[in-house]
Every structure is written in structure tokens, then in C-alpha cells.
Amino acid sequence: MYIASSRTADERDLAILRRAVSGDSYSEISRDHGKGVSFSRVLVARIRDADLRESGEAASVVLAVYPAPIPRKVRAAA
């Protein structure tokens, strides 16, 4: 049933978000859920972005409760 599977996915997503907020590594979280290494990082980013769009709160307030984004590696000048 769609509602049951949606609820299951919501519960999984919240568990992933809780672990990310508590400091667990994204790769470890993803591995524990049988997913690729970037799965949990992308999932948390999607939740954060939806929260920014839909909450009505100031971005600084919303971002304060999410883990800091992983900085992109800066390529060394050739």
C-alpha cells in the first residue's frame, strides 16, 4: 500500500536526519541503510532545502538545526 510505504520512507528519512544531526558520517549512515555513500547526504540536503522553502522561518534559523554542508574540495591551481 502506498501510504504504508510512504510512512516507512518518512520514518527512515527522519532516522537518517537524526543521525546526521548527531554527527554520524553520511557514508556510515548510508552504508547502514544499504545505500550508496552519498545517499544520506543528498537526502538531508533535500529535506533542508524543502524546509528552507516551506517553513516561513529565516534561513539562518532553519540552517541552525541542520548539519553543516560538506565543503566541496577546492582544486589546486595548476
> What are the tens digits of pLDDT across the range 21-66?
999 999 999 999 999 999 999 999 999 999 999 999 999 999 999 9
Residue 1 has pLDDT above 60, yes or no: no
pLDDT of residue 5: 82
Residue 78 has pLDDT above 80, yes or no: no
Give the residue from 47, 49, 44, 12 showing the smallest Cα distance to 26.
Answer: 44
Please name the residue that has the C-alpha cell 552504508.
Answer: 31
pLDDT confidence bin for 75, thresholds 50/70/90: very low
pLDDT of residue 68: 83
DSSP of the chain, one letter per residue?
Answer: -HHHHHHHHHHHHHHHHHHHHTT--HHHHHHHTT--TTHHHHHHHHHHHHHHHHS-S-HHHHHTTSPPPPPPPPPPP-
- Entry pTM: 0.81
